[in-house]
Amino acid sequence: MVLPQPRHPLPARGLRQPKLAIEPSAVDWLSLGALPIGLVFFAGTAVGALRRRAGHVRARGDYPALARDLGLDYRPSRYATGVGSLVGSIDGYRLLVDPDDQRRILLTWNTPPGLILHHRADTRRPPPGYVPFRLDNPAAQAFFRTTFATKAGLEQLGDGAGLEPFAVALTGLRGHKDTSITDAGITLSFDFGNPPFIPAEVVRHVVLATVRLARTLAPP
């Protein structure tokens, strides 16, 4: 009688049987300590959302006391979950902190300094009476990428050293998007995600730096 042959022949005596590589399953990866990319991404997104939510709640609680410290008025938001706004005057300059709608801080002055400065590059031509120029101060030139001025504005500005403390205070500030200086005033926009808010410590830092700059450019 002929016995059936095995489907896979047995290795010869004395020869080492090769080891088969087995790909780990998804559960094996977890046991090895490596998390799937999707789970890591989800965890990072969740942490970011929680952080923004916590910052929004903290700002809602901090704004009334911040208004008193800065000598401004606090106005509750028209939105149920809004932060509210700060309005008033400091050293004769009108100030508005609006984190809910415009996400910006605005200072207006009575005497325009004859300057148009933008943090972002702007390729449009200067308005009538203004000419492009370059700031001699390195910190100011690095921060303000668009610079126009009238003849009187250039004479008053000088080498631009008066802009340096403001440029240093704003450079690298978290959440800062843009700054513009025009005949109307100084406008700073921010983005800290949704729901919209501007942290109280950022408001305090920016308001004080902006008022100091206003004293330099357009003394009250």
* In-domain check, residue 24: no
Say yes or no to pLDDT of 209 above 70. yes
CB atoms within 10 A of CB 128: 6
* In-domain check, residue 160: yes
* In-domain check, residue 155: yes
* In-domain check, residue 5: no
What type of residue sits at position 201? Answer: E
The model's pLDDT over 110-151, given as tens digits with 9 standing for 90+, comes to: 999 999 999 999 888 999 999 999 999 999 999 999 999 999
Say yes or no to pLDDT of 61 above 80. yes
* In-domain check, residue 9: no
Please list, residue by residue across 144-166, b when 16 or more beta carbons sit within 10 angstroms of its beta carbon and e when fewer do. Answer: bebbbbbeebbebbeebebbbeb
**Count of domains forming the chain:** 1
| pLDDT class of 21 with cuts at 50, 70, 90 | low
Domain of residue 54, residue span: 40-217
What type of residue sits at position 59? Answer: A
Q: What is the pLDDT of residue 217?
A: 96
* In-domain check, residue 194: yes
Q: What is the pLDDT of residue 116?
A: 98
- Are 90 and 71 in contact by the 8 Å Cβ rule? The answer is yes
The model's pLDDT over 67-76, given as tens digits with 9 standing for 90+, comes to: 999 999 999 9
Q: What is the pLDDT of residue 37?
A: 64
* In-domain check, residue 28: no
Radius of gyration of the chain (CA): 30
What does DSSP say about strands 176-181 and 115-118: parallel, antiparallel, or unpaired?
Answer: antiparallel
Q: What is the pLDDT of residue 43?
A: 47
Higher-confidence residue of 144 and 26: namely 144
Q: What is the pLDDT of residue 59?
A: 87
| pLDDT class of 28 with cuts at 50, 70, 90 | low
Q: Which of 25-34, 112-121, 151-160 has the weakest average pLDDT?
A: 25-34
DSSP H stretches of helix in the chain = 26-31, 37-70, 138-143, 151-157, 164-170, 200-217
What's the mean pLDDT when you consider all of the chain? 85
* In-domain check, residue 190: yes
